[in-house]
Amino acid sequence: MISDQNPLNILVVEDNDLDFILLNEYIRKTGLPTKNIIHVNRLKKALTILENDHPDLIFLDLALPDSKGIESFQSISEAAPHLSIIVLSGLTDKQLALRTILLGAQDYLVKGSFDETLLAKSIEYSIERKKLQEEMIKREVERQKLINTITIQAQEKERKLIGRELHDNINQILATAKLYVDVAIREDEVEKELLYKSHEYILKAIREIRSVSKSLILGSMKDICLKDAISELVNSMKVNTALVMSLHIDDAATENLTADKKLAIYRIVQEQLSNILKHSEATEANICIQNAEGKLVISISDNGIGCDTSKPVPSDGIGLHNIAGRTDMQNGRMEIITSLGKGYALRIELPID
């Protein structure tokens, strides 16, 4: 913010002394508080100034004795990417000035075509615009950090789940099969029952490995039907649970989705169903995916214990963070409706491709 407490330090890169004198006079007439106005007539001198001083604003003439056109702007912009740059151009290089706007300049002024009022607006808007750009970049960096954190957490969670599945389930099945085979090796007269049981346990281990593998390799859904994939997921989660699940998917709403969006939807459903099985104590769950008012709506609800939304999400509850991260990456919106003892409803809206 320009104020008497924060006066401007301005660098003017202009090789025409008369143009500088006129610009300097207009700056004075704007009434904007200024501390220093440094004038140089060469690009090399400007780069030296930027190394040692810290101006708030740069006025740049595109036609300099040691640099021409876009090259002048690019050199200054690379040396001071955080500073506002207002390009000074003549009528003949107005198109060139417009190109610098596309490359990141905050504004341009045609020499002889502005007064102190237009100059004041240009200075204020340029500085404010640059601040907004910096803030947007900062927010995007923070967003990417969050996404990376969520991704790493999800990967670690998946590794732990796979490790536990291999150790607690598949490893035990194979250990039992090995026990039967060991007995068969030691005994001279082997009962076929031992071999049948070994065969049965080995087949069971193969099925379990296929199930774990399928959950891993579903990374590309280009040629996979989303409805079939989610139906199979729901059926696999119905095993050994009293939870009754109902599924409704609108074929027309999901048939033309990109592979990336289909995978995001699949993982969201997978994550929320896992949350329901682990935490909800529910007896019923409903999954619905449909087109509503031009949006793809995913609704997943249960009749479980619900939760208190006024309390923060537990640090180990990364499932909801993963869902929020995937929703955000698809430019969607997430809503949670729940209270203690009254179930839990997750609603996600995604833009249609």
CA distance 184 to 314: 51
CA distance 164 to 150: 21
From residue 245, alpha-carbon distances to 230, 299, 322, 335 in Å are: 12, 13, 22, 21
CA distance 306 to 291: 26
High-pLDDT (> 90) share of the chain, %: 31
High-pLDDT (> 70) share of the chain, %: 88
Report the pLDDT value the prediction gives residue 223, as an integer from 0 to 100.
66
Q: Which run of H or E residues covers position 188? A: none
> CATH for 221-353?
3.30.565.10
How many C-beta neighbours within 10 Å does residue 8 have? 19
- Beta-carbon contacts of residue 296 (< 8 Å; ≥ 6 apart): 253, 254, 257, 265, 289, 290, 349, 350, 351, 352
At residue 287 the predicted structure's pLDDT band, cuts being 50, 70 and 90, is very high
Report the pLDDT value the prediction gives residue 181, as an integer from 0 to 100.
80
Q: Which residues pair with 295 in a beta bridge?
A: 292, 351
Residue ranges of the domains in the chain?
8-114, 221-353
CA distance 332 to 89: 43
Straight-line distance from the first to the last Cα atom of the chain, in angstroms, rounded to the nearest whole number:
41
CA distance 59 to 23: 9
The pTM score is 0.49
If you average pLDDT over every residue of the chain, what do you get? 84
Q: Does residue 313 register a pLDDT over 60?
A: no
With respect to CATH, is domain 8-114 assigned 3.40.50.2300? yes
Strand, helix or coil for residue 292: strand
CA distance 86 to 346: 49
221-353 has the same fold as 8-114:
no
pLDDT, tens digit, 9 for 90 and up, residues 190-246: 667 777 778 888 887 877 777 666 666 555 566 678 888 898 888 877 765 678 999
- Segment among 135-139, 170-174, 321-325 with least mean pLDDT: 170-174
Q: Give yes or no for a contact between 272 and 300, defined as CB atoms under 8 angstroms apart.
A: yes
